[in-house]
Amino acid sequence: MPRKKHASDHPNSDLPPARDIGHLTAEDVDRIDTVPLRPDAPDSEAMQGFGAVQAALELEDFPMAKSDIDYSVGDIEVDDLSGGKVAVNIVTDYIPSRQYHSIEEVMRALRAGLHAYERVRLRGQKRAG
Q: Residue 89 has what pLDDT?
A: 95
Q: Residue 46 has what pLDDT?
A: 43
What CA–CA distance (Å, rounded) separates 57 from 16?
A: 9
Q: Which amino acid is at 120?
A: V
Q: Residue 96 has what pLDDT?
A: 92
**Prediction pTM value:** 0.62
Per-residue pLDDT of the chain (129 residues; tens, 9 = 90+): 444 444 445 555 555 454 444 454 555 545 544 444 444 444 444 456 999 999 999 999 999 999 999 999 999 999 988 888 999 999 999 999 999 999 999 999 999 999 999 988 888 777 776
Alpha-carbon distances, residue 60 vs 3, 56, 115, 123 (angstroms): 13, 7, 25, 35
Rg, Å, the chain Cα set: 16
Q: Residue 14 has what pLDDT?
A: 52
Alpha-carbon distances, residue 18 vs 72, 90, 117 (angstroms): 9, 23, 29
Q: Residue 19 has what pLDDT?
A: 44
Q: Which amino acid is at 108?
A: R
Domain residues of the chain, as ranges? 1-35, 47-128
Q: Residue 125 has what pLDDT?
A: 76
Could you give the angle at which helices 49-57 and 103-128 cross, rounded to 10 degrees? 140
Number of other CB atoms surrounding residue 8 within 10 Å: 17
Q: Residue 41 has what pLDDT?
A: 43
What CA–CA distance (Å, rounded) separates 121 from 115?
A: 10
